[in-house]
Amino acid sequence: MKKTFFVLILCVASLLNLSAQEVKNVLFIGNSYTHVNDLPKLVKDLSYSMGEEIYCESITPGGARFLTHSQNSSVISKLQEGHWDFVVLQGQSQEVAFPDFQFYDEVYPYARELDSLAKAFNPNAKVLFYMTWGYRYGDQVNCQYYPPFCTFESMSWRLRNNYSLMANDFSSWVSPVGAAWSYSIENNPDIVLHSSDNSHPSIQGSYLAACCFYIMMSGNKVESDYLPNGVSMQEGDFLRGVANRVVFDSIDYWKNQTSSLVEIEQLEKEVFSINPNPAKDNVNIIFNKALSDVCIELIDLNSKIIDKKIVSVKEGEKITLSSFGQKGNFILMVNYYGKKISKKLVII
């Protein structure tokens, strides 16, 4: 009896400890690379096995691009709920590796819109860009037009650079799944991370991705025996080791620390004040300090930029943005010196 009672107490204590953990709310915005093998559930189950709890929702229409998501009312509505701790953004498998002229025209602006909306409605959230990987044998259809698409290595490197670029430019984080894939394939090619279509992840590839996301979201190493069906113990040991080495050991490199809500409010007081003028459908921004190369944007709730100015200002100078007759809720974005401040406002 005593032995049974002792074991029961340990189990109850374990459950109480788990329930005491703060639940993290995570929204995955992506496509089939996230949907295949149910990556959000893998992250949830792995976190649970580590004594942590997360709640996941996902929007993952097949082939969706950042442009698609920025025009998707379901995505915008989910972001507007405002309770997310992490928002994961994943682009179409090729687009983030596009040539520069195409990337900056078709990809970068829409990723930035989503990043801005996520932070405007969820001020304490971390945006995590999901760095994906190259096709197993490269993209042979487009190889003739753009050599970086010709091999797994060159395509992955292009994806790594541009996902990291966006995370840095937007003061967000990147989950370096593609970098972990490259390390795994180089050091143990017998573990096949691609599925039979040579593009999507196998269960091993999704498990490695889940380990990367767990580390970025928790800040802890993966030290769990949890394995999804289809991943052997030996494979799991190796893939966890890859994630810990590539992600955890360089976690500060993959993070670009964002300001807390308190810091944002303090920055706002130091930098500018806002005076909406409903009669003239405009917003006056009065700067409290001199700044150069300030980007100011007025954005509607459909993530469309209504007015934008890039200016250098003197202390006390007033800059005016117009809603051009539109009424309702807007977001004011002020970017300067690598800092980003978002402010909700209403024009009636």
On whether residue 34 sits in a domain, the answer given is yes
Question: How do residues 209-235 score in pLDDT, each as one tens digit?
Answer: 999 999 999 999 999 999 999 999 999
**Among 31-45, 124-138, 295-309, which stretch is predicted with the lowest mean pLDDT?**
295-309
On whether residue 69 sits in a domain, the answer given is yes
Domain end: 188, 221, 254, which one?
A: 254
Report whether pLDDT(45) > 80: yes
Q: Please, are residues 145 and 94 in contact by the beta-carbon 8 Å criterion?
A: no
Mean pLDDT score, 30-59: 97
Stated pTM of the model: 0.72
Better-scored residue on pLDDT, 258 or 348 = 348
192 is written with which tokens?
Answer: 């096949």
Report whether pLDDT(180) > 90: yes
Domain end: 196, 223, 254, which one?
A: 254
On whether residue 6 sits in a domain, the answer given is no
Q: What is the tally of structural domains in the chain? A: 2
Mean pLDDT score, 186-192: 96
| Whole-Å CA distances, 119 to 79, 188, 222, 265, 330 | 9, 38, 28, 14, 14
Helical H segments across 219-348, by residue range: 233-246, 251-254, 261-271
Q: Which domain holds residue 267?
A: 262-347
Residues 160 and 116 in one domain: yes
On whether residue 49 sits in a domain, the answer given is yes
pLDDT (0 to 100) of residue 264: 44
Mean pLDDT score, 141-149: 92
Mean pLDDT score, 64-77: 96
CATH number at residue 273: 2.60.40.3080
Question: How do residues 272-288 score in pLDDT, each as one tens digit?
Answer: 777 765 556 788 888 88
CA 56 to chain centroid, in Å, comes to 14
Report whether pLDDT(259) > 70: no
Residues 103 and 168 in one domain: yes
Q: Is 231 helix (H, G, I), strand (E, B) or coil?
A: coil
Residues 243 and 307 in one domain: no
Residues 185 and 303 in one domain: no
Residue 328's Cβ-side half-sphere holds a number of Cα atoms within 13 Å equal to 6
Summary mean pLDDT of the chain: 86
On whether residue 4 sits in a domain, the answer given is no
Residues 59 and 83 in one domain: yes
Residues 49 and 151 in one domain: yes
Q: Please, are residues 79 and 121 in contact by the beta-carbon 8 Å criterion?
A: yes
Report whether pLDDT(246) > 70: yes
Residues 78 and 182 in one domain: yes
Mean pLDDT score, 137-157: 93
Report whether pLDDT(11) > 70: no
pLDDT (0 to 100) of residue 22: 83
Local confidence band at 151 (pLDDT 50, 70, 90 cut-offs): very high
Residues 185 and 57 in one domain: yes
327 is written with which tokens?
Answer: 């009424």
pLDDT (0 to 100) of residue 263: 42
CB 89: neighbour CB atoms within 10 A?
A: 26
On whether residue 113 sits in a domain, the answer given is yes
Residues 214 and 333 in one domain: no
Distance CA 47, CA 31 (A): 22
Local confidence band at 256 (pLDDT 50, 70, 90 cut-offs): low
On whether residue 40 sits in a domain, the answer given is yes
Q: CB burial class (10 A; 0-12, 13-18, 19+) of residue 46?
A: buried
Report whether pLDDT(53) > 90: yes
